[in-house]
Structure 1
Amino acid sequence: MIENEIARKYGQAIFELASEKEKIEEVNNDLQLLRDTIKESSDFKNLLYHPRIESEKKKEVFFKIMGDEISELTAQFCQLLIDKRRITSLNAIARDYELRLKEFSKILEVELKAAIELPDDLIEQIRIKLANILDYKVELNTEIDKDLIGGIRIKIGDKVVDGSIKAELENLQKRLEQIPVSKLGVE
């Protein structure tokens, strides 16, 4: 919970600053590079995340490794994160930033689950239809979920449109359970 609040606060701050300086894409690329570097180098991650290593030492190593690879704006932002002991939230901040960039660019991530693998042309038709309905560019992430039995489930943010057979069966079961036994002719 606190991690999400930190990510929103710092993600918004860096996004607004990058927007003001017209460096939105550049900062996004920098943050993705940082995420990848931290993910790939456990030594670098351990140094940055270790609570007992002094901020000055962290910044020194950080700038030796990343100084020429990222913009000055991103480097200053990371220096602030180190000073405020928030560098461990970098991954969540980068994800928040990415979501803000997508919103700004009118790009929407949509999750589509189907019981079977759908043909590419059908997936493209669904993507186009959603883009037209939502008035956003749609990034469609597909996944196979055999538990659905048939049909599809679409998730957009925290909203779910469930057109699966599993959902229909569950709804039918709930309706049947609500019918009093006396109405079924059973005593």
Structure 2
Amino acid sequence: MALSREEIAARYGAALFGYAQDMKVLDQVFAELQELQKAVKANPAIVNVLSDPILNKDEKKASLDAIEKDFSDEVQGFLNLLLEYDRFEYLLDIIARFNYLYDQEKSIASGTAITAVKLDDDQLKRLGDSYAKKYNLNAVRLENQVDPSIIGGVILQIKDRVIDGSVKNRLKKIRAQLIDEN
């Protein structure tokens, strides 16, 4: 029976996570995987070449050698394992699973801050730090999404929690109160 994409990502991501923990290089592997993820997202042809069934293993290995030369032995070994077992097409899913496990281990949450205007990095960091302090997390990584329809304020979506501090929401509540009073 063939494994699903999610099962493959879960198994390989958990295996890499456990290995990195055992070797005491968890933070280093995490940092390297973030760089690899950025590179692959910017240039998806990397995965296409390394998972192409037409290319032989030697051609793929030569391509991989050029990519992995600056990575640690642990990440290089992992990438070679993916190549050996023809699992390179799942790379981004595996990294996502690793990131999830890393965030769980380090009490880090990721989320989205929806605002009417774009926030700079410092504003996002302060907002994330404030949320982390309130909810006993070590850190919160926020991405900014701009939605002018909220008028002002911020909507935070982190894990399964949504905190709606938008002006639009406040106006809606005031309107509901006025209607209820009449």
Report the alpha carbon displacement of residue 117 of structure 1 after superposing the two structures with TM. Answer: 5.2
TM-score, normalised to structure 2, is 0.73
1:79 aligns with 2:115: no
Aligned partner of residue 142 in structure 1, secondary structure: strand
Name the structure 2 match of 1:181.
none
1:49 lines up with 2:55 in the alignment: no
Q: Identity of counterpart residues, as a percentage?
A: 26
Q: Tell me by how many angstroms 1:91 deviates.
A: 1.8
Letter matched to residue 24 of structure 1 = L
CA separation of 1:56 and 1:130: change in aligned 2, threshold 3 A? same
- 1:62-81 per-residue CA deviation (whole Å, 9 max, x = no partner) reads 12x13532222222211221
For residue 34 of structure 1, give the secondary structure of its aligned residue in structure 2: helix
Q: Is the contact made by 1:39 and 1:45 (CA closer than 8 Å) also made in structure 2? A: no
Q: Is the 8 A contact 1:14 1:77 kept in 2?
A: yes
Q: 1:104 to 1:47 in 2, by over 3 A?
A: same
Alignment partners' CA distance in 2, 1:73 and 1:90 = 15
Larger radius of gyration: 1
Q: TM-score, normalised by structure 1?
A: 0.71
Asked whether 1:96 is paired with 2:97, we answer yes
C-alpha displacement of 1:21: 0.5
Instruction: Give me the whole-angstrom Cα distance separating, in 2, the residues matched to 1:31 and 1:87.
Output: 14
The alpha-carbon distance between structure 1 residues 119 and 56, as it changes in their structure 2 partners (threshold 3 A), is: closer
What residue ranges of structure 2 are gaps of 5+ in the alignment? none
Q: Please report the RMSD computed on the Cα atoms of aligned residues, expressed in angstroms.
A: 3.4
Query: Once the two structures are superposed, what CA deviation does each residue of 1:113-170 show, in whole Å capped at 9, x if it has no partner?
Result: 1234569887666434312221112233333311223442110123322233445639
Alignment of 1:106-125 (within 5 A): 106-116=107-117
Any residues of structure 2 matched to 1:2-151 within 5 Å, and which?
A: 2-39=4-41, 44-63=46-65, 65-116=66-117, 126-136=127-137, 137-151=139-153
Comparing 75-84 with 121-130, which one deviates more in the overlay? 121-130
What runs of 5+ residues in structure 1 fail to find an aligned partner? 177-183
Deviation at 1:108, TM superposition (A): 1.8
How many residue pairs get matched?
174
The alpha-carbon deviation at position 11 of structure 1 amounts to 1.2
Counterpart Cα distance in 2 of 1:48 and 1:121 = 38
Contact 1:148 1:164 in 2 (8 A): yes
